Amino acid sequence: MTARGRLRVYLGAAPGVGKTVAMLSEGLRRRSRGTDVVVGIVEDHGRAHTAAAVADLSVLPRLVVRHRGVELAELDVDAVLERRPEVVLVDELAHSNAPGSAREKRWQDVHALLDAGIDVITTVNVQHLESLNDVVAAITGVRQRETVPDSVVRSADAIELVDMSPQALRRRMAHGHIYPAERIDTALGNYFREGNLTALRELALLWLADRVEEGLERYRSERGITGTWAARERIVVALTGGPEGAMLLRRGARIAGRVAGRTLIAVHVVRADGAARAADPAELEKQRLLVEKLGGSLQLVVGDDIAAAVLDFARSVDGTQIVVGASTHGRIAQLVRPSTLTAIVRDSGDVDVHVVTHPAAGARRRGRSLRRDLAPRPRTVLVWAAALLVPVVLAAALLPFRSGLGLSSVLLVFLVGVLANGLIGGAVPATVGALVAGVLANLLYTPPIGSLTIAAPENVFALAVFVAVGATVASIVDRSALRARAAARGRAEAQLLAAVVTDTVTADDAVLAVLDRARVGFGMGSVTLREVDTGRPVQVSGPDPAGPPDLVVPAGRFHELALHGRPLPAADQALVDVFAVQAAVAVDRRDLARQAGEAHRLRQADAVRTAVLAALSHDLRTPLATIKAALAGLRTAAAPAGRVPGAGGLSGEDRRVLLGSAADAADQLDAVLTNLLDLSRLHTGVLTPIRRPVSVDEVVHGALVGVPAGSIRDDIPDDLPLLDTDAGLLERVLANIVSNAVRHTPAGRPVRLCAGRVQDGRGGGVQIRVVDHGPGVPEKDRPALFTPFQRLGDVPAGTGLGLGLAVARGLADAVDAVLEVEDTPGGGLTVMVTVPVAATRPSPAPVPAVEV
């Protein structure tokens, strides 16, 4: 039986990264080792360097298929099988074969070759993977019709990523190494936008990382390896709230800085049983600011067992390493009770633990009281064992002295044991211990010895009082312990609420910060803030919830907080109410910030009006002086001889020059006043767009009216969708941008207009690009490009108010268009206008555009 061939795939992060050349280079390398290699099919797409990479490899003829009068060249599988090379190179694995071919897809042809025992080297781009089809369409706005099942690529014996930085790929595009010159600007503005290329690169890396992880798991499974191989590092720093926290955080940051994909997370456990010293809130706040400065985050969790809480948190965030400070327990205390550090190391399992020594450890150890170190922790088995054993041990210890002790002395000693049981386990175990002690006192120390019979009535009374006093004292001790735990819980809640209040004030997204605190603090799977009336989620922390919530709490008048994960005890629900209030406060704060932004806009409008008044006196003087001078010359020439001294006739050429100067100055004055009027309307909010479906050609045609002939090269295709915009306002936007580009472009180099469909965060649109080859604008000056009354260094003073692009930005905002700028490859500036696409429904009757 013939062994199946081996498949090697070159996965391209984007078109043009060089996967075909990499495949051909591998073929040449194998041929140099004596392997029989042939080229089954290579698509060079007219690229000279790709065609040259074939070199002297043997190329099999293609199979010509006729379809509707068109000849299509496909991979000739039968010719490859007849030739039976050791290795065949097959380009574009996702290609769809011509109708009438033996197989529908090229990857099916590849499977036929593999089944015949022939090794195949092939190529595919990440956007052609079936599982990523919708994701790529959402990012780029282009849905790939040719896809290949992920299982086909995953089954390859070797997958190699062919990658290139977005900037380098765009330079390759600009140099004409991917598409012909007439398609470069359109491609750069559409599919080959830097954001698209970055997203495709990330998709390729993540997809390949998952495949690598699958291979690793398969390898470990085949060899029976069960230990953890941590490939992605998450560093968890355990903070006590003490002064050593800053040192631990910096050490954790240094550890995280040495690995790729690093994540730094700090955790502080607030004890609810009162056994731990409370953290200093001021110190904890300093550490929160420090960890955020180091690129991490601080989480507060509540737990009785600090070690277990730290380990549970680390596992919940997939932590691979824990950084913890050296123990502050003394040696004697560690003999009685293991320290938190010891418990973390003992139960850490596959999680690495870094123990960091610090000066505070020794000082705190020396100043710590032995009584606190020896304070017992309640354990169920130990509690009941102590309730039974303490009276027995005391009774045995007193036996040698029985002859010299009275019953009252014995009962006082037993009372000490009852108090110890009360401290250890509470009222019920201590009461049981008192009963056991009373029985032992009766048997061993009350005449007659060895019998439950009591000879003297006063001894009956003494024993009864002893049991009653013991139970009462144990109850008081237990109640005090409960109050101490309640106080500790209140302190823990206060610290958690203080962190929430801080997030509400300082976080960039205060609503999400509050929800994150609630999710981590209460151990929930997800927390959602939603509208009361509609149930629509406003903000979600964690994965999208499935199923009904475990708890719903009102958050103000219009919102409610829904928690998914586990039922909460009644004691926690009051705290959830506070979180809900904080979420409502965060929403109100966000609304107030929006209103403050509106007030800021109004202040800017006032500043603009002030600047307009200041500029009018100077910048309008030149066109007015030109008009006045021209009119004065014409009037002098038209005056009767002898009435105006020095008057004389003007030639026809002189009259044309004067009239032309007056007309140009009037046009300049009209443009300035129009821009001022538009700017005033924008800042006062009286400009109301009337939006309707409109074609790109209609808008561009209106924008180019008055532009000098030969200064524009229009490369806009005819098949673009309709725009959802105000045609008149969008014309003004393009007219201002085009006139600015023409003014700065050298003579003989026309400004290019191109457009294409793009995908953006709002669902998609049409991007119109105005490409000039002028001096460009340095990146540091671009923030001022759309600011009123700004003239950059390449414009001489006195050439206008600097309102054109500012008005364009304002009008674009009014019709929900987005203005962006980038460098033109080879020099110059490209301004991009992205306009929403009209909905696919019957167009309403045309409505006249606003006249501006």
What is the fold, at CATH topology level, of the domain defined by 688-836?
Heat Shock Protein 90 (3.30.565)
Q: What is the DSSP string of 140-197?
A: HS---S--B-HHHHHT-SEEEEE---HHHHHHHHHTTSSS-HHHHHHHHHTTT-HHHH
pLDDT-derived band at 792, boundaries 50, 70, 90: very low
pLDDT at residue 840, as a whole number: 58
Q: Which of 264-268, 539-543, 630-634 has the lowest mean pLDDT?
A: 630-634
Q: Where do we find the tokens 């042809």? A: 109
Q: Which of 67-71, 531-535, 592-596 has the lowest mean pLDDT?
A: 67-71
Q: Are 38 and 59 in contact (CB under 8 A)?
A: yes
Q: Are 94 and 148 in contact (CB under 8 A)?
A: yes
Distances (CA, A) of 135 to 161, 163, 213, 349: 19, 19, 21, 38
pLDDT at residue 80, as a whole number: 93
Average pLDDT over residues 24-47: 91
pLDDT at residue 686, as a whole number: 54
Distance CA 621, CA 787 (A): 22
pLDDT at residue 538, as a whole number: 85
> Which residue did the predictor score with more confidence, 87 or 286?
87
Q: Is pLDDT above 80 for 282?
A: no
Q: Are 307 and 343 in contact (CB under 8 A)?
A: yes
pLDDT tens by residue, 167-195: 888 888 877 778 776 677 667 767 788 88
Q: Is pLDDT above 60 for 503?
A: yes
pLDDT at residue 371, as a whole number: 36
Average pLDDT over residues 819-828: 82
pLDDT tens by residue, 559-573: 888 888 877 776 677
pLDDT at residue 639, as a whole number: 61
Domain limits, the chain: 7-222, 234-373, 380-484, 507-593, 631-639+648-681, 688-836
pLDDT at residue 23, as a whole number: 94
Average pLDDT over residues 280-309: 81
Q: Going edge to edge, which strands form the sheet with 829-836?
A: 712-714, 751-758, 765-771, 829-836, 818-823
> Which residue did the predictor score with more confidence, 433 or 108?
108
DSSP single-letter state for residue 35:
-
Q: Which residues fall within 8 angstroms of residue 750, CB to CB, at 6 or more apart? A: 710, 711, 712, 713
Distances (CA, A) of 741 to 322, 537, 701: 57, 45, 17
CATH of 234-373 among 3.30.70.360, 3.30.230.10, 3.40.50.620, 3.40.630.30? 3.40.50.620
Strands 37-41 and 58-59, bridge-based pairing: parallel
Q: Is pLDDT above 90 for 37?
A: yes
Distance CA 333, CA 369 (A): 10
> Which residue did the predictor score with more confidence, 50 or 636?
50
Q: Is pLDDT above 50 for 794?
A: no
The residue among 270, 791, 714 whose CA lies nearest residue 517 is: 270
Q: Is pLDDT above 70 for 17?
A: yes
pLDDT at residue 278, as a whole number: 54
pLDDT-derived band at 848, boundaries 50, 70, 90: very low
pLDDT tens by residue, 657-693: 777 777 777 766 666 666 566 556 555 555 567 788 9
Q: Is pLDDT above 90 for 253?
A: no
Q: Which ranges in 2-105 belong to alpha helices (H)?
A: 19-32, 48-53, 77-83
- Average pLDDT over all residues of the chain: 76
Q: Which of 106-115, 209-218, 813-822 has the lowest mean pLDDT?
A: 209-218
Q: At what angle do helices 621-638 and 652-684 cross, to 10 degrees?
A: 150
What are the φ and ψ backbone dihedral angles of 474, each rounded to 5 degrees?
-60, -40
Q: What percent of the chain has pLDDT over 90?
A: 11
The residue among 108, 82, 83 whose CA lies nearest residue 95 is: 108
Q: Which residues fall within 8 angstroms of residue 830, CB to CB, at 6 or more apart? A: 185, 188, 189, 769, 770, 771, 772, 821, 822, 823, 824
Q: Is pLDDT above 50 for 847?
A: no
pLDDT-derived band at 117, boundaries 50, 70, 90: very high
> Which residue did the predictor score with more confidence, 127 or 639?
127
Average pLDDT over residues 316-345: 71
pLDDT at residue 79, as a whole number: 92
What is the fold, at CATH topology level, of the domain defined by 507-593?
Beta-Lactamase (3.30.450)
The arrangement of secondary structure in 7-222, i.e. its CATH architecture, is: 3-Layer(aba) Sandwich (3.40)
Structure tokens at 813: 């905002």
Distance CA 482, CA 653 (A): 106
Average pLDDT over residues 70-93: 91
Query: Over the range 314-331, which residues count as b (16 or more CB within 10 Å of their CB) and which as e?
Result: beeeebbbbbbbbbbbbe
Angle at 674 between CA 671 and CA 675, to 5 degrees: 85
Q: Is pLDDT above 60 for 98?
A: yes
pLDDT-derived band at 260, boundaries 50, 70, 90: very low
Q: Is pLDDT above 90 for 110?
A: yes
Average pLDDT over residues 494-501: 71
pLDDT-derived band at 520, boundaries 50, 70, 90: confident
Q: Is pLDDT above 50 for 656?
A: yes
pLDDT at residue 109, as a whole number: 93
Q: Is pLDDT above 70 for 740?
A: yes
Sign of CA dihedral 560, 562, 563, 568: positive
pLDDT at residue 387, as a whole number: 74
Q: Which residues fall within 8 angstroms of residue 521, CB to CB, at 6 or more apart? A: 300, 301, 302, 496
Q: What percent of the chain has pLDDT over 70?
A: 75
pLDDT at residue 35, as a whole number: 93
Euclidean distance between the first and the last CA atom of the chain, given in angstroms as a whole number: 80
Q: Is pLDDT above 60 for 526?
A: yes
Distance CA 105, CA 77 (A): 12
Fold agreement between 7-222 and 688-836: no
